[in-house]
Structure 1
Amino acid sequence: MKLLRYGPAGHEKPGCLHADGTVRDLSGVVADISSATLSPQMLSTLTATDVDALPVVADPGRIGPCVGAPGKVLCIGLNYSDHAAETGATPPGQPIIFHKATTAICGPYDDVELPRGSEALDWEVELAIVIGKKAKYVGEAEAMDYVAGFALFNDVSERNYQTKMEGQWTKGKSHDTFGPLGPWLVTKDEMGDPHDLAMWLDVNGERRQTGSTSTLIFNVPTIVSYVSRFMTLMPGDVIPTGTPPGVGMGMKPPVYLKVGDTMALGIEGLGEQKQTVVAA
């Protein structure tokens, strides 16, 4: 099932994408697509719903982030060896975890802000894991039982804030609009194997990133299990899993986004996004 949220920011309604391409209203089934509705029990109810009988949303308007109010956004850094190489970093021996503020989350077609004083705004197409069940000290063999589904994510980054200012990466990852999520959450049963998905990103119509989730250093079960050793994962938590090569930081010389630039990106089975860069 492809779950989505539509409507003005802060007032999104739950919906799903029908096989005929229409958006269907899920308001009569659930209040939102969020932590309260991503448990295995609720997902079973949703996937058993007769989508054909749901009301058609004639004009859904804005598509919002596919998960409402995630409790945590925990990103995995340098999780593709070729991306690590282009940034001059050594591929990690263990998953690198960093936080992205939840206020960075936005819709897949919302504008992305260039922060005031920014000179190094960058792009990163990523596969995001969405947690569906409380997870603590989870083994790799059972880790997929705690996953609700997957979504497309753009881990927008300000590289000077990330690498040249003292402290952790968080300040370069957390500006408003630095986390376009969606357009939909594909439930685990429909997604199948998440480890062989083509992914791409264009800037102003030019291909910048081409990759596949088959080259992840740490796969989905490893990530879920590893992160659950250090903190409890809750339903609705989002874990972007890293990006393939082709980011602006890795170009020689580096190339960064400016006001008016557009990003278009996609992952096989998870839809596409498009954003325009605007001044903050």
Structure 2
Amino acid sequence: MRYYQLREEGTPRLAVEAAGGVYDITAATPRLRTFDDLLCAATITDSSADTVANDLLEKAATLPSDALENGSVSAPVLGEVWAAGVTYRISEEARKSESSMPEMYLDVYENDRPEVFFKATPDRTVGPGEGVGIRADSEWDVPEPELGVVLSGEEIVGYTIGNDMSSRSIEGKNPLYLPQAKVYDRCCSIGPCIRSADSIDDPHDLEMWMTISRDGEIRYDEATNTGKMVRSVEELVDCYVAHNAVPDVSVLLTGTSLVPDEGFTLEEGDVIEIGLEGIGTLTNTVVEV
């Protein structure tokens, strides 16, 4: 099942794509307005989110397919966003080329302990169709397409797409500048939906692709597979939750799978599209912040 947060003024509404149709879960049960609400209901009934949603399909209103088009939905979950770094060889190589201390990235890539860091709060996170930010004080900015793991406490409940916007020029000057390179206004995008964990056979074998367009011309177009990740989803989650007071709902991004060439930097007005097999496509336009 795929869960979407409908973009409406006032009352939030939760929709689910299942059984060949799109259904308004909130119309069936007004208390279920968000994916967080659905997780609470699943906890109370000692069942899964899919079970709760499936039981409501007969009472739920059917929605037209265009109800889920880009611009019609917002970020499917609002909570803390954390991220893992240097989990793909391409990311390790890119970090070495930008950094004044390249050896530290190789050490993380090959070490038993992964890099896990805080990425964004809900008010720094945007959804499909919204603007993602590049810092006005940065000269080299890139999107970072990533598989996002949705967690209820310490339990994996779903997957989404994340864009971990990054200033490579700021991080490259000194690794201690990582928070400034990663955490700022509109630094993260999540969406377009949450695909339930029970409906994903293997998160380590999903095709991922990204295109970047400027003035209608494609400037970047590459694809990869999550199977190239050097660490497992479970390993990254274990590191994130260990000795950490994790919130009721959070998202953990699992590392950068595609990196534009060294000479490329984002500009205001660029359109970024990130696709992930079985989940969908996350589209955002770049704005300066």
Cα-Cα RMSD: 2.5
The match for 2:197 among 188, 203, 220 is: 188
1:60-100 CA-partner distances (Å, limit 9, x unpaired): 453111113x1x21100011123212332312412101111
1:67-216 pair list within 5 angstroms: 67-68=77-78, 70=79, 72-88=80-96, 89-90=105-106, 91-93=109-111, 94-102=113-121, 103-132=123-152, 134-135=153-154, 146-164=155-173, 167-204=176-213, 205-216=218-229
2:253 equivalent among 227, 232, 240? 240
Q: Which ranges of structure 2 fall in alignment gaps of 5 or more residues?
A: 97-104
Q: 1:112 to 1:53 in 2, by over 3 A?
A: same
TM-score normalized with structure 1 length: 0.83
Q: Which amino acid aligns with 1:100?
A: K
Q: 1:109–1:180: 8 Å Cα contact kept in structure 2?
A: no
- Aligned amino acid, residue 37 of structure 1: L
- Pairing 1:56–2:62 present: yes
Q: Distance in 2 between matches of 1:237 and 1:206?
A: 33
Under a length normalisation based on structure 2, what TM-score does the superposition of the two structures give? 0.81
The answer as to whether partners of 1:2 and 1:187 remain within 8 angstroms in 2 is: yes
Is 1:276 matched up with 2:264?
no
Change (3 A) 1:11 1:173: farther
Residue from 30, 36, 39 that aligns with 1:37: 39
> Do the aligned partners of residues 119 and 19 (structure 1) sit closer, same or farther apart at CA in structure 2, a change above 3 Å counting?
farther
Question: Is 2:66 the counterpart of 1:46?
Answer: no
Q: Is the 8 A contact 1:25 1:57 kept in 2?
A: no
- 1:205-262 deviation line (CA, Å, top 9, x unaligned): 34444211111111111111222223133331110000124x23xx24x311001211
AA at the equivalent of 2:161: L
More strand by share: 2
**Is contact 1:131–1:233 with CA below 8 Å preserved after alignment?**
no
Report if aligned partners of 2:145, 2:162 keep a CA contact under 8 Å in 1: yes
Q: Is the partner of 2:74 in helix, strand or coil?
A: coil
**Secondary structure, counterpart of 2:248 in structure 1:** coil
Pair 1:80–1:166, CA change in 2 (3 A): closer
Report the counterpart of residue 236 of structure 2 in structure 1. 223
Q: 3-state DSSP class of the match of 2:249?
A: coil
Out of 211-220 and 2-11, give the one that drifted further. Answer: 2-11
CA contact (8 A) 2:269 2:287 kept: yes
- Cα 1:206–1:51, aligned 2, differ >3 Å: closer, same or farther? farther
Is 1:116–1:279's contact at 8 Å kept on the other side of the alignment?
yes
Higher helix share: 2
Aligned to 1:5: 5
Aligned residue identity for 2:114: P
Q: Post-superposition shift, 1:112?
A: 1.7
Checking the alignment, whether the CA contact within 8 Å between 2:84 and 2:114 is kept in structure 1 is yes
Distance 1:109 1:212, change over 3 A: same
User: For residue 16 of structure 2, what is the aligned residue in structure 1?
Assistant: 16
CA distance 1:44–1:279, shift in 2 (3 Å): closer
Specify the code of the residue in structure 2 equivalent to 1:95. Answer: P
Question: Which whole-Å deviations, capped at 9, do the CAs of 1:179-203 have from their partners, x for residues lacking one?
Answer: 1111110111111211100111111
SS at match of 2:247: coil
Distance 1:119 1:231 in 2: 34
Partner of 1:99, secondary structure, is: strand
Q: 1:54 to 1:23 in 2, by over 3 A?
A: closer
Higher relative contact order (CA 8 A, sep 6+): 1
Residue number in structure 2 paired with 1:141: none
Q: Distance in 1 between matches of 2:14 and 2:54?
A: 16
CA contact (8 A) 1:35 1:234 kept: no
